[in-house]
Structure 1
């Protein structure tokens, strides 16, 4: 197993991409921290599934927008397993779906602030341990909407574009410490949240525009995350992996 013994913290891991990533990293030998905000039952189900398959996992509730909660979470992991080697920041910060004309500054600026504050907080919390050991993997979940706008998605697309540039600056600074920083940027993914946001006509158009003939599954995204998180990724940093079936090529 490529990740034996490493500890991976996956934020927003009780469902969707985060849950698929937690399971895959556990399959590859990592001890997985399933971070969640409110659904304790779902998080415990992920832990149970990992353990039933022979892996190791623990669920930790924390709002990643709150610095004390994040610091407490990382301290709990340190006490249990010695620290965080891999950070997968996947937690979805709520956002408004509407046009710029109808949007308030609180909706746009609030999303930007919360998105970056969460990324800042979780990264700050895990960085000392990674720096001390001279090894670390940081993976942020972005979105294809950062580069390819879609109606009503200005808040999400703009905030994730900021996150992508943040990742590049970190990659430049942290490379000498043995820490890689990368972004996985999915196109539309088949999840409950996607079903709520996309109507059938929009979904059909997006499938038709995708050379692979379907939308992504959470497991497709998890595979890309797992590569960036693993020992094999020794030299890729500051990059963005587009997991979109060819819907957009860049």
Structure 2
């Protein structure tokens, strides 16, 4: 007989969003809170913004500081979250981003790209996701259910700007998404990626020139740039019961700009 696993509603899940206090992370947090989930808002330096969300949703939101690159801090964050909600984290959204500004004119080009820049992005995107995933696994096994959603980019299909370091790290994260999906599938744990392009507007894209927004919109079937709220809503799908048979996938959410 085939093994089946439960697929709890969003309102029955405890969700950790890394880098969840601002930018795209805040939109993801608010999307889950809107659906009744209990949400752990991870932050590194944005304490005031994390606390403000908790004050708005005191029953279902919990703020926890941790550097996702530090395994000990990640473990302590999961422990605090489980104590607070009296249940383990069942869903992880790996959104935390190493320091990065989405402005092609200010990025390192091929001739001056430093390995240190690539390593910084790999450390934050891949090591951070590995730390949270490994720390979440015991609780997911305890619950008999798990959802991991990694945040990617459409730039490795459409590298129109020289974000070499960022794009390489996200491509590596996609590879790990797919290998983890294969490894964890028998335990009822799905691992997927949601990839976007330029979003209008987050803290990271605030430095993007207006002409770039206009150019992207002109080449998108919807003739507009995707908003962070629209992107966040797509993440809910992978955490929901509707996606219970979906794993190892990369969903591009950019208004149809990139066809994957």
TM-score normalised per structure 2: 0.90
- The equivalent residue for 1:38 is 45
- CA-CA distance at 1:95 after TM superposition: 4.2
Q: C-alpha separation between the residues in 2 aligned to 1:248 and 1:4?
A: 32
Once the two structures are superposed, residues 10-36 of structure 1 have per-residue CA deviations (whole angstroms, 9 ceiling, x without a partner) of: 111111221111111112121110111
- CA-CA distance at 1:220 after TM superposition: 0.7
Specify which of 177, 184, 187 is matched with residue 194 of structure 2.
184
**Gapped runs of 5+ residues in structure 2?**
1-7, 102-106
Q: C-alpha separation between the residues in 2 aligned to 1:212 and 1:184?
A: 19
- CA-CA distance at 1:106 after TM superposition: 1.2
- The equivalent residue for 1:205 is 215
- The equivalent residue for 2:92 is 87
- The equivalent residue for 1:14 is 21
- CA-CA distance at 1:110 after TM superposition: 3.0
> After the TM superposition, which of the residue ranges 173-182 and 202-211 deviates more from structure 2?
202-211
Q: C-alpha separation between the residues in 2 aligned to 1:229 and 1:199?
A: 34
CA contact (8 A) 2:44 2:65 kept: yes
Query: Is 1:74 paired with 2:78?
Result: yes
Q: C-alpha separation between the residues in 2 aligned to 1:238 and 1:110?
A: 25
Once the two structures are superposed, residues 10-69 of structure 1 have per-residue CA deviations (whole angstroms, 9 ceiling, x without a partner) of: 111111221111111112121110111111111112222334xxx511111111111111
- The equivalent residue for 2:30 is 23
- CA-CA distance at 1:237 after TM superposition: 0.5
CA contact (8 A) 2:177 2:193 kept: yes
Once the two structures are superposed, residues 60-88 of structure 1 have per-residue CA deviations (whole angstroms, 9 ceiling, x without a partner) of: 11111111111100011111222101001
Which secondary structure does the structure 2 equivalent of 1:195 belong to?
Answer: coil
Q: C-alpha separation between the residues in 1 aligned to 2:89 and 2:169?
A: 26
Which secondary structure does the structure 2 equivalent of 1:226 belong to?
Answer: helix
Q: C-alpha separation between the residues in 2 aligned to 1:215 and 1:177?
A: 38
CA contact (8 A) 1:8 1:88 kept: yes
Specify which of 170, 174, 194 is matched with residue 205 of structure 2.
194
- The equivalent residue for 1:163 is 173
Q: What is the RMSD computed on CA atoms of the aligned residues?
A: 1.6
Q: C-alpha separation between the residues in 2 aligned to 1:208 and 1:115?
A: 30
Give the alignment of 1:58-137 within 5 angstroms.
58-81=62-85, 82-95=87-100, 97-137=107-147
- CA-CA distance at 1:94 after TM superposition: 2.1
Which secondary structure does the structure 2 equivalent of 1:142 belong to?
Answer: strand
> After the TM superposition, which of the residue ranges 94-103 and 71-80 deviates more from structure 2?
94-103
